[in-house]
Chain A
Amino acid sequence: MMETFFLYAAIALSLIMVLSLYRAVFGPTVLDRMVGVNAIGSKTTVLLLLIGIIYQRVEMFVDISLAYACLNFIAVLAASRYFQKRKGLYDEGH
């Protein structure tokens, strides 16, 4: 019963991630893409734990999840430090 619930919760979370993916793919500026990627990363943290519960190995997946949260933070910091020196990332789509 609860396993089915967690399965559907994980599927719903994946669908929500697809919504954010639109911003990451079509965002008008590089920074919009980064916002989308960051949002996907924070949802992945939860998704990993849900997968862990479905496979009944939470104590293993919780470490992966913690590492993923850490990695997401560092990636966002590094990418924003890299792009802040760039002029002209305004409206790259036009």
Chain B
Amino acid sequence: MISFLAAVLIVLGLFFFAGGSVGILRFPDFYSRLHPAGKLDTMGLLLSLTGIALYVVQDLTLSAILTALKIMLIVVFVFITSPTATHAILDAGVRAGLSPWTAPGKRGRT
């Protein structure tokens, strides 16, 4: 039963990862590519690592529980560092003077 739940979580996580990759391919410019790259990936990582931790913790031995704790530690770490990394790349783009892509009809309005 728990394995089934873990499998569902991992498949969901893979789906989010796929969305992130497709988003990176399809979005028009560098700024909007950061949206799927930085965040759909974080979400996919959260879901699939939670699934893996659930699968590992089934045994209920001490080492399995410690491993699951470590996996959740990775999730916490990524949740702190991912916005920082996204922001660092974005800042590099702003300072290099890349201008953001705007939708063709809205160029005059903003």
Contact = CB atoms under 8 A, between A and B. Distances in A.
Q: Give yes or no for direct A-B contact (beta carbon below 8 Å).
A: yes
Nearest to A83: B92
A45 B75 CA distance: 10
A29 B88 CA distance: 16
Interface in B16-73: 17-18, 20-22, 24-25, 30, 33-34, 37-38, 41-42, 44-45, 48-49, 52, 55-56, 63, 66-67, 70-71, 73
Nearest to A43: B17
Bin the interface of chain A by size: 35 or more
A16 B89 contact: no
A49 B88 contact: no
Nearest to A84: B92
The prevalent SS among residues of A at the interface is helix
Contact of A20 (B7, B21, B52, B91): B21
Interface residues of B, number: 49
Contacts of B21: 16-17, 19-20, 39
A39 B33 CA distance: 11
Contacts of A34: 89, 92
B71 A62 contact: yes
A35 B30 contact: yes
A68 B95 CA distance: 28
A42 B98 contact: no
B99 to A, nearest CB: 8
A89 interface: yes
A22 B22 CA distance: 11
Given A2-B7, A86-B96, A89-B98, 4 more contacts: A12-B14, A20-B20, A31-B93, A35-B24
20 contacts: A9-B14, A12-B14, A13-B14, A16-B17, A19-B25, A20-B24, A23-B33, A31-B98, A42-B42, A46-B49, A53-B56, A59-B63, A62-B70, A63-B70, A66-B70, A66-B77, A72-B85, A73-B85, A77-B88, A87-B97
